[in-house]
A and B are shown apart, each in its own frame.
Chain A
């Protein structure tokens, strides 16, 4: 550490334009100049990318150097004397600009970049207002990078920022430079149309108008846009983005380089998926069911009706006959107020959120270990990790921004990357896959992630790499786990995992050998059966290796939805009051009652799945759905239709009219994420505030405002001046958030909780989690294992409505391994029928080694029929429904036309 400090204090002093500047050693001259307040014009340089020095715009004069030097790749040196504005520099700059402008078209008036274009700015600053270029202008054949990205090569300054971004940040390498010399152009490396992750990064990083978005193309001039920052609602990465709008229509999304937890990077959903806000089919007015159809009504009538019906049911059957489910996309303010509304106004303990689909497993597993369900290592720890273990998470599809960080650590910083999961490497695909970067790819069959984790634990224990301090402090824990790990036979583990002992040991050594090591785990663990056991084992692995509480290390759960953390922590769950206080905790209840000046109903409430069961059984009479659409989310085997159809009152409050709304008695139009102020807690545990970017469409209102309105109508006012007041109260009544500093910082491990776990808590289910359990039997009738995976381009009802995202290629296809495709005799593009015990569905095949032999992968939210193939299973302890795997048979329906021609 001392050497690091020495390096950190190693300063260099140089002179820039006569001004002495002291900067860190190794600083690039262009950055040193920036620190001194001197802007050196440039095109190709970007702080995110390795310097390429190709534009030559940043040439400066360094005394004693024989010629001008590019400041973007020149590290500072002690005593350097630099001039950025000498006549020689000015001449060189003007020369470079003249070259760049020589062939540049005069289409600024219609260029979407006009007004925020680096070339315009530099031309304005450094060139004469006439051109000496009198030769015919160069032109390129017009090409599009597919339906989402426009390429206008005549505007390109060939700085290759897009190519470098695509490679260095996204690791997608979809772009390259094609042809050479004056005909050099940016192109897809293989195909003219891009087949990539469509993160929009190439557009964002283009200094000119060469790459622009085809969504809302020519619809605005940049200076007309109102730009408001908020938080992306599409996953729990917590990206800060700007909603840019004109006349209350969102026209584009941007994110400033370096801003937010995403450092300005976005993914397809964040960048292109915004068009859902503007859709015409948004719910704009309240609807009430009259004579079997939903008809528009006024807020006054709708609120009165809802309040009256709820009150009537409450009076007749008690608050316990009413349930409420809210989406974990909602803001903290909406979530907090919803549970308060349900508990106090409705008098019901039945309040839950869509965090029930996954995050509750994490909470159940980790709350007794670390005190919460947040990441215990920050994003920066991921950046700096020497080893990263990713278990059951396809980050590129589920959490792309965390994925960029993992890829950065692996490819640019040489971190060991262990992937544990069901996906195979698929080199050749432009959608980068973490497995492609893995130094240790522990690819296993679905559901066998746990066997691999057990193997890793066994390897750590047997190689004597258990943290010595732990063995001294918690001998019982270490002894017990070591004994249990010892009881497992390598042969069984190898058979279960489908991996060699050597491979598992090598990965374990890479993990334990790193000083800074982070484990991430995601949906294939969290949303699968036995999740709690697997997650506990993951925690055990980190504890045994001494990598849970060591700085730079940690265990990081990943969430699918934007605010699953907030939903659970703010008490939107029947088992927890705000602050992760169990409803059975009397002291906690008293504290809450004092703050609320009223008592939350006691006793266990029903979870999401239980509410549906109780509705079917007739005990739940009314259900209030906020942003959640169980009919859209759950397979037919969950019998949601029967449940919702049995209700006396179904209120659906959402931005759109989804499948469940068709059974609703009242629909209430809700504001979208961009239309409200609020905060969201990402999976790191950062509470990030977003501003209201747009006025809500039509008569839509924010969820919190609607709750207040109904509460007032029910004679129990819950009034707040603004969302900030709600958040302030939430933090006040949720001591767990406050004491752990968790309202603003990522989770740290609670020492008392951990001590309790290590002394006796670990015993809970320890035998069960260390047992391999019965092996899954291969079914002759349904030989393939189908996993419903999450797609980068459509992760739920909201993104499913995006017309822009729907344009990305190769969506909604069944991934089949090449060997299986050969065995089945199907070609890519063939249509096959999947048959499970639950039903059948027809899908198109795409051949990809991402699916391992014997497995097929299909993205969720693309075909109801495929979703309905899965049986549903509910975790007995956490009540998390498991419905993303099925055993299927595959039959060919038809071959693609090309194959048909070939065969005839």
Chain B
């Protein structure tokens, strides 16, 4: 099995590492921010991150340095950094570990980012269910504040950066950056129509950057070891390490930090120990529930932004879910659609109505009440959702449906033909029950 130097998971995988401030500093922590404050102007930090090629780890993979450079330089407007720690994508659990086990790594990254964009205040928006994570962050922030790392004149510089934890209340949509901003503002978390974009009118209508936890955790390392070092890891367009959360029917589910660009097969077979004995892979979701399903034919696709996109899915959140032959694909799509129907915020028409409609149709098919015209109907509905919604949720909710229809159409047809699930009492099979809305 190929082994790689761990970067983000290094500290926490060191036996005895406690994750408190002293431990983090013993491991070399908080040196990068000191270096930045001493040696670099904010523009230079942006340049370094641009040069590193770091791309956002939340899902869309937008180049981080470029995102920062959209922040207007106008000194009269306050700027904000928001840390997206609302990790809610089904099958994804990397940010939770980064927060729980090494909070200061992410905090140091946040300080670097805040300095780069000129933000005096950073909010960490923590998923409501991460009660422990929120406590750990509060504790870490208190430690850092007590040491003068957070607050007025951080590290004795002339720079003020304050950091606050803001807990979510359980809505998946608040991971969408503008819904996240609304939620921090104390409003209902509904995505905003764009334009204007957060870089111009973000939190409290001021210039704002929203960065994912993993993205920020990379920053101290990029500063410490130089952008060239970072850019040399991974592929040309997708540099760096990536934490993949592997779950499902594998022998060793867990978080694996590997360079971007390794084949999917290596991640599943070698790092995660392969599919459970006596079974074979049927489908893989490579980048969280919003990503299109892959089949075993895709096992040689390389895990970088471009290659996965070219193969018809997306790297997304890095949540890799492996399903073996015991899983009914119609049920899998129905299950995910249930999630999307439940989590659709209801703000815009195609998503609000479409998620419900698709869920109803999948419910019928899975429960033996499918109709011949349902498949074409679903494809048409997906076409009326994707690309037509306020936020990316619309694209996400159609991915499982369209990809299972593409790769496993025969299973749908069997459900409709046999007026039942051909797999009988399979995992997760439920009896028909009325759906809400």
Tell me, yes or no, whether A102 is within 8 Å of chain B by CB. Answer: yes
A212: min CB distance to chain B, Å: 22
Q: Is the Cβ of B357 less than 8 Å from the Cβ of A56?
A: no
Which residue of B190, B195, B390 is within 8 Å of A75 (Cβ)?
Answer: B195
Per-residue interface assignment for chain A, residues 47 to 87, with 1 indicating a CB less than 8 Å from any chain B CB and 0 otherwise: 00001111111010000000110100111000000000000
Q: Is B341 positioned at the interface, with any CB of A under 8 Å from its CB?
A: yes
**Distance to closest chain B CB from A179 (angstroms):** 7
Known interface pairs A135-B361, A138-B356. Does A177 touch B343 (Cβ–Cβ under 8 Å)? no
Q: Which single residue of chain A is at the shortest CB-CB distance from B437?
A: A182
Q: Does A96 reach chain B (CB closer than 8 Å)? A: yes
Q: B324-373: which residues lie under 8 A (CB-CB) from chain A?
A: 341-350, 352-357, 360-361, 364, 371
Interface size on A, residues (CB 8 A): 40
Contact with B along A180-191 (1 / 0, CB 8 A): 111110000000
Chain B residues within an 8 Å CB radius of A100: 349, 353
CB pair A99 B354 closer than 8 Å = yes
Determine whether the beta carbon of A181 is less than 8 Å from that of B350. no
User: At the interface with chain A, which of B1-9, B43-51, B380-388?
Assistant: B380-388
8 A Cβ contacts from B228-279 to A? none
When the two chains form the complex, which single residue of A92, A132, A138, A179 contacts B388, counting CB atoms closer than 8 Å?
Answer: A92
Interface residues of A in 132-152 (CB under 8 A from B): 132-136, 138
**B384/A98 in contact, CB under 8 A:** yes
Complex: A763 Cα to B303 Cα, angstroms: 87
With a cutoff of 8 Å between Cβ atoms, the chain A residues found around residue B387 in the complex are 67-68
Is the beta-carbon distance between B346 and A53 smaller than 8 angstroms? Answer: no
The interface residues of chain B lying within 8 Å CB-to-CB of A92 are 384, 388
| CB nearest to A70 among chain B residues | B193
Contact of A182 among B193, B346, B361, B389 (CB under 8 A): B346
- B-chain residues with CB within 8 Å of residue A134 when the two chains form the complex: 371
Chain B residues with CB under 8 A of A74: 195
Any B CB within 8 A of the CB of A205: no
Asked whether B193 lies within 8 Å of A95 as measured between CB atoms, the reply is no
A424 to chain B, nearest CB (A): 23
Q: Which of B194, B342, B388 has the most CB of A within 10 A?
A: B388
Q: Which residue of B lies closest to A177 (CB)?
A: B188
In the complex, which residue of chain A has the Cβ closest to the Cβ of B346? A184
Q: Are A181 and B384 interface neighbours, CB within 8 A?
A: no
Contacts of B345 in A (CB 8 A): 180-181, 184
Nearest Cβ on chain A to B168's Cβ, whole angstroms: 14
Chain A residues, CB < 8 A from B75: none
B377 at the interface (CB under 8 A from A): yes
Which of chain A's residues have a CB closer than 8 A to the CB of B342? Answer: 181
Report B-chain residues with C-beta under 8 Å of the C-beta of A95. Answer: 350, 383-384, 388
Instruction: Using CB atoms, name the residue of chain A closest to B436.
Output: A183
- Rounded to whole angstroms, the CA-CA distance of A468 and B388 in the bound complex is 59
**CA of A56 to CA of B193, assembled, Å:** 10
Cα–Cα, bound, A769→B356 (Å): 70
Residue of B nearest to A103 (CB): B353
Could you say which residues of chain A place their CB within 8 Å of the CB of B343?
Answer: 180-181
Q: Is A809 an interface residue (CB 8 A)?
A: no
B171 contacts the other chain (Cβ, under 8 Å)? Answer: yes
Which of B171, B193, B353 is the one whose CB lies under 8 Å from A73?
Answer: B193
Cα(A391)–Cα(B348), bound, Å: 43
- Bound-complex Cα distance A425 to B390 (A): 37
A135 to B381 CA separation, bound complex (whole angstroms): 14
Does A176 interact with chain B (Cβ within 8 Å)?
yes
User: Is the CB of A650 closer than 8 A to any CB of chain B?
Assistant: no
The answer to whether A181 and B341 have CB atoms under 8 Å apart is yes
Q: Mark A91-128, 1 if CB is under 8 A from B, else 0.
A: 11001101110110000000000000000000000000
Interchain CB contact under 8 A, B341 and A182: yes
Q: How far is the CA of A68 from the CA of B437 in the complex (A)?
A: 28
A461 near B: Cβ within 8 Å?
A: no
Q: B171 near A133 (CB under 8 angstroms)?
A: no
Query: Are A96 and B349 within 8 A (Cβ)?
Result: yes
B384 partner residues in chain A, CB cutoff 8 A = 91-92, 95-96, 98-99
Contact indicator A181/B349 (Cβ below 8 Å): no
The reply to whether B361 and A54 contact each other, CB–CB distance below 8 Å, is no
CA distance A702 to B387 in the complex (A): 62
Q: Among B190, B371, B388, point to the contact of A96 (Cβ < 8 A).
A: B388
Q: How far is the CA of A671 from the CA of B384 in the complex (A)?
A: 57
Whether B437 and A55, one on each chain, are in contact in the complex, defined by CB atoms closer than 8 angstroms, is no
| Residues of A close to B377: CB separation below 8 A | 132
Contact B360 A181 (CB under 8 A): no
Given contacts A52-B193, A182-B356, A183-B437, contact A177 B346 (CB under 8 A): yes
With the chains together, A54 CA to B195 CA distance in Å? 13
Is A158 a contact of B344 with CB atoms below 8 Å? Answer: no
Distance to closest chain B CB from A357 (angstroms): 44
Contact A57 B355, beta carbon cutoff 8 Å: no
Query: Assuming the A-B contacts A92-B384, A179-B346, A180-B344, are A102 and B390 also in contact, with contact meaning beta carbons closer than 8 angstroms in the complex?
Result: no
User: Is B353 in contact with A53, judged by CB distance below 8 angstroms?
Assistant: no
Is B344 in contact with A59, judged by CB distance below 8 angstroms?
Answer: no
Q: A181: which B residues are within 8 A, CB to CB? A: 341-346, 352, 355-356, 437
Measured in the bound complex, the distance between the Cα atoms of B346 and A184 in whole Å is 6
Contact, CB under 8 Å: B389 / A56: yes
Instruction: Kindly state whether residue A157 has any CB partner on chain B within 8 Å.
Output: yes
Contacts known (A53-B390, A92-B384, A99-B384); A135 close to B346, Cβ less than 8 A: no
Closest chain-B Cβ to A118's Cβ sits at a distance in Å of: 13
Q: Which residues of chain B from 170 to 196 have a CB within 8 Å of any chain A CB?
A: 171, 188, 190, 193-195
B350 touches A56 (CB 8 A): yes
Q: A73-B195, A135-B360, A183-B436 are in contact. Are A55 and B188 (CB under 8 A)?
A: no
Query: In chain B, what residue has the closest Cβ to A139?
Result: B437
* B383: A residues at CB distance < 8 A: 95
A182-B344 contact given A59-B388, A138-B356, A138-B437, CB 8 Å threshold: yes
- With CB as the reference atom, state the residue of chain B lying closest to A67: B387
* Bound-complex Cα distance A485 to B361 (A): 78
In the bound assembly, the distance between CA atoms of A95 and B361 in angstroms comes to 17
CB distance from B345 to the nearest CB of A (A): 5
B185-220 interface mask toward A, CB cutoff 8 Å, 1 = contact, 0 = none? 000101001110000000000000000000000000
Bound form: Cα–Cα A138–B387 in Å = 25
Instruction: Decide: B390 and A54 in contact? CB cutoff 8 A.
Output: yes
CA distance A56 to B194 in the complex (A): 13
The 8 A CB mask of A147-167 against B (1 = contact, 0 = none) is 000000000011010000000
Given A96-B349, A138-B437, A184-B346, also A56-B388 (CB < 8 A): yes
Chain B contacts of A98 at CB under 8 A?
384
Is the beta-carbon distance between A99 and B390 smaller than 8 angstroms? no
CB neighbours (8 Å) of A179 from chain B are 346
Q: Within the assembled complex, what's the spacing in Å between the Cα atoms of A138 and B360?
A: 11
CB distance B356 to A158 under 8 Å?
Answer: no
Would you give the shortest CB distance from A140 to chain B, in whole angstroms? Answer: 9
Shortest beta-carbon distance from B341 to chain A in Å: 6
Q: How far is the CA of A59 from the CA of B190 in the complex (A)?
A: 20
A156 CB to closest chain B CB (Å) equals 11
For B353, the chain A residues whose CB sits under 8 A away are 99-100, 102-103, 182
User: In the complex, which residues of chain A have a beta carbon less than 8 angstroms from the beta carbon of B347?
Assistant: 54, 158, 160, 184
Residues of A within 8 Å of B352, CB to CB, are 99, 158, 181-182, 184
A-B contact pairs, 21 of them (CB 8 A): A51-B193, A53-B348, A54-B347, A54-B348, A54-B349, A54-B390, A67-B387, A73-B193, A95-B383, A96-B384, A98-B384, A99-B357, A102-B357, A135-B361, A158-B347, A180-B343, A180-B345, A181-B355, A181-B356, A181-B437, A182-B355
Instruction: Sort A-B residue pairs by CB-CB distance and give the 4 closest, nearest first.
Output: A184-B346, A95-B384, A53-B193, A99-B353
Interface contacts beyond A53-B348, A99-B354, A181-B341: sample of 8 additional A-B pairs, CB < 8 Å, sorted by A = A91-B384, A95-B388, A96-B388, A99-B349, A102-B357, A176-B188, A179-B346, A180-B346
Binding site for B on A (CB under 8 A): 51-57, 59, 67-68, 70, 73-75, 91-92, 95-96, 98-100, 102-103, 132-136, 138, 157-158, 160, 176-177, 179-184
Interface residues of B (CB under 8 A from A): 171, 188, 190, 193-195, 341-350, 352-357, 360-361, 364, 371, 377, 383-384, 387-390, 434, 436-437
